Amino acid sequence: MQQRENASRRLSDVSRAHPGDATLQNLLGLVVAKLDTCRRLPIFEYEAGSEGNDQCASAFRALADAERESVNRLLTCLQNHLVETEAERQGSRP
């Protein structure tokens, strides 16, 4: 829980540093939401499996895999956006 709070604070620091950047705000918002979903899906999988709902457990596992992939894609976009934004701020393109 402590790590998540620290990560949220760091994300909000980035967000405050670029208040007029809607793309950045959208990327950060999605990353936070998807990280929360990634945190919860294994719990859903465990609970469904514990109740004998194997089909649902499998669906939760597949969703968790898909969410991790989407988080990775968003993080790549976020990284590229921050590099481009910094380059523009310094007057050059990467």
Q: What is the pLDDT of residue 13?
A: 64
| Residue 75 main-chain phi, psi, to 5 deg | -65, -35
pLDDT (tens digit, 9 = 90+) per residue, 14-35?
555 555 789 999 999 999 999 9
Percent of the chain scored above 70 by pLDDT?
78
Say how far apart CA 26 and CA 42 lie, in whole Å. Answer: 25
pLDDT (tens digit, 9 = 90+) per residue, 62-82?
999 999 999 999 999 999 999
Neighbours of 27 (CB within 10 A): 22
pTM assigned to the model: 0.70
Sign of the CA dihedral with 84 first, then 90, 91, and 94 last: negative
Domain extent listing, the chain: 2-89
